[in-house]
Amino acid sequence: MELRHIRYFLAVAEERNLSRAAEKLLIAQPPLSRQIKDLEEELGEKLFIRKNNGVALTEAGIKFRQYATQIAALADRSVEDIKDMKGLTGILYLAAVEAKAPQIISKWIGDFAQKHPGVEYNLWNGNTDDVVHRVRSGLSEIAVITAPYDAEELVGFEVYREPWAAMIPSDHPLAKKKGRTIKLKELAGYDLLIPSRSSRLREIEEWFAPLDIKPRIRCRLAHMQNAIELTGAGLGIAIFPATVSDYIREGIVIKRITDPDVYATYVCVRSKEHKLSRLGEEFWNEITG
């Protein structure tokens, strides 16, 4: 008796019809009939009673189906268990913006790698617009970006919030004021360096609008390192998430923006259009579970 005999028998027992069972198994009916006959001869019992509209299980067939079901299930489980011994493998394509996002996604990767040491990672960094483009194009499966995002195209959930801060050259008058915060209105009239995203410009203009102030934008930047270098060179005051203080060098002072308190929100996203790979699905379930 071979495993295929078990599977053929179960298909016929389920369909109660040789023709339908043969279609389900993607074989011709005569070979299926021969396999069932061989099985009956080996067992020394009839398993089916032939009828005009199909077949019915005999008493021996009913008994044998109990064992056959267990055998087939055990065979399937053994294959899954052997595959699981190898663990997940392959390359997981991820992306993240700057500031806090690399810390967030690195923590996830570290936790996931402990459970699945055979997985490789391709982690791409850029500004939010570039990262979103990669997710929409299927180049990255999962990413961490800053809000806002298009909920019609992306599935997302919030993972972190942090204040926006001003990076100020250390010889600037505002840098010499006491305290670790700065009121938004104090930035009025000074050249500002801001992230290049279009929605970010609108957001910053909305901060100033209730104060009846139009911000003076000197430069729009795609990457945080450019903001750090240009601030250090005295070009202006950069507005970036407060985590930038972890990367700052001498010659720059960081002050959190207040009145109003404004925050950057980080969101983990995936595409609605592109189905996640098994590896991507496991990673997504891990971070959302």
Burial of 202 (0-12, 13-18, 19+ CB in 10 A): exposed
Radius of gyration of the chain (CA): 32
Answer whether 0.85 is exceeded by the pTM.
Answer: no
Please, are residues 125 and 94 in contact by the beta-carbon 8 Å criterion?
A: no
Residue 144: CB atoms within 10 A of its CB come to 25
Alpha carbon 11 to chain centroid, angstroms: 38
Instruction: Give SS3 for 243.
Output: helix
Q: Write out the chain's pLDDT in tens, 289 residues.
A: 788 899 999 999 999 998 899 888 899 999 999 999 999 999 999 999 988 888 999 999 999 998 898 888 888 777 766 665 567 888 999 999 999 999 999 999 999 999 999 999 999 999 999 999 999 988 999 999 999 999 999 999 999 999 999 999 999 999 999 999 999 999 999 999 999 998 999 999 999 999 999 999 999 998 999 999 999 999 999 999 999 999 888 999 999 999 999 999 999 999 998 889 989 999 999 999 8
